[in-house]
Amino acid sequence: MGYTELLIADMYRNGQERTANAYRTVAKGLVRFNKGEDIPLDQLNNTLIRSFENYLKQNNKMPNTVSYYMRNLRAIYNKAVADKRIPDTQQKKPFANVYTGIAQTKKRALSLEELKRLHQLAPDRFLWNIGLNSKKYRKFENLYRAWRLFFFCFYARGMSFIDLAYLRKDNIKGDILRYSRKKTGQVIELTLTPELKTILESFAKEVINSVYLFPIICPDGNSTRRQYENALRIQNVRLCKLALMAGIKKKLSTHVARHSWATIGKKQNIPIRVLSECLGHSSEKTTLIYWDCWIVLY
């Protein structure tokens, strides 16, 4: 844990909060498996790592979660070798024969009927006859916010929620929204449609003194990454409530908007290279797994 915390401190200085949090999670998990006892770097061996892998499986961790632990622990180990904290011995290979792959998961997209029901739900209509200061009003106000954020991502060609959270006012020039994807750094440009403008205008008063387009990140608050992660959790909880209200049995999350938009493109015969570029994918193979069914709003 001592060495991992050194890596984490350096990553925070370089703005790599996501990786830093991953390293802390997996290192703490390994120490917890070891009954709370820290582990010297030179005692990491294949027997220990495979036992930890089996422990994760026995605790019903999904294959991709197990892989997440193994890949990040391997990265920490390799950094320790590179830093000469431990010798690089070919015989040791602590991560030999453990699962570090990525299992393909079923991608979710809403059906035409489901998306229509969600769109027609428009929680703001529940606010009309409710007292402004009531608990019920705040509930539907929060659901309406989640509804608008979901459909902004959908209308913005399947924008990822993290990219939405970090959108700034200076990303807009005229009717063009231009931003860099957090995940890949790829620059994406799109035209602000009437639907996108309406949603942006609905948040205008809340961000009047902010550099951001949405009231998710406060520059003067805590870590922007932590603010985003907290907003993501809240958004997904609210989306589940919206799905229940709309009679949708699928698990609704921020990523569903992205998969749903990609599915439309398939049925409208948009070339895969165009879809891949719009989604900001580095490979057309990634785009292929997004296609489930055809969805249109109207």
The reported pLDDT for the residue numbered 288 is: 53
Sheet holding 172-173, edge to edge: 172-173, 176-180, 187-191
Q: Nearest Cα to 172, choosing from 155, 141, 193, 153?
A: 193
Give, rounded to a whole angstrom, the gap between the first and last alpha carbons of the chain. 54
The reported pLDDT for the residue numbered 35 is: 94
The reported pLDDT for the residue numbered 150 is: 96
The tokens for 99 are 């699962």
Q: Nearest Cα to 255, choosing from 269, 239, 241?
A: 239
Between β-strands 176-180 and 172-173, what pairing exists: parallel, antiparallel or unpaired? antiparallel
CA distance 24 to 1: 8
CA distance 107 to 128: 36
CB neighbours of 173 closer than 8 A, spacing ≥ 6?
none
Query: Which letter, b or e, does each residue of 90-111 get, where b requires 16 or more Cβ atoms within 10 Å of its Cβ?
Result: eebebbeebbeeeeeeebebbb
**What is the value of pTM for the model shown?**
0.70
The phi, psi pair for 284, rounded to 5°, reads -65, -20
CA distance 214 to 3: 38
CA distance 57 to 27: 17
The reported pLDDT for the residue numbered 275 is: 54
Tokens 């989306």 correspond to what residue? 239
CA distance 287 to 276: 6
The reported pLDDT for the residue numbered 128 is: 67
The tokens for 206 are 């809340």
Q: Per-residue pLDDT for the chain (298 aa), expressed as one digit of tens each?
A: 999 999 999 998 887 888 898 999 999 999 999 999 999 998 999 999 999 999 999 998 888 899 999 999 999 999 999 999 988 765 578 999 998 887 665 557 887 788 889 999 887 776 666 766 778 888 889 999 999 999 999 999 889 999 999 999 999 999 999 999 887 788 889 999 999 999 999 999 999 999 999 999 987 767 888 899 999 999 999 999 999 999 999 889 998 988 887 777 666 655 555 556 555 555 545 545 554 433 334 3
SS3 109: coil
The reported pLDDT for the residue numbered 296 is: 36
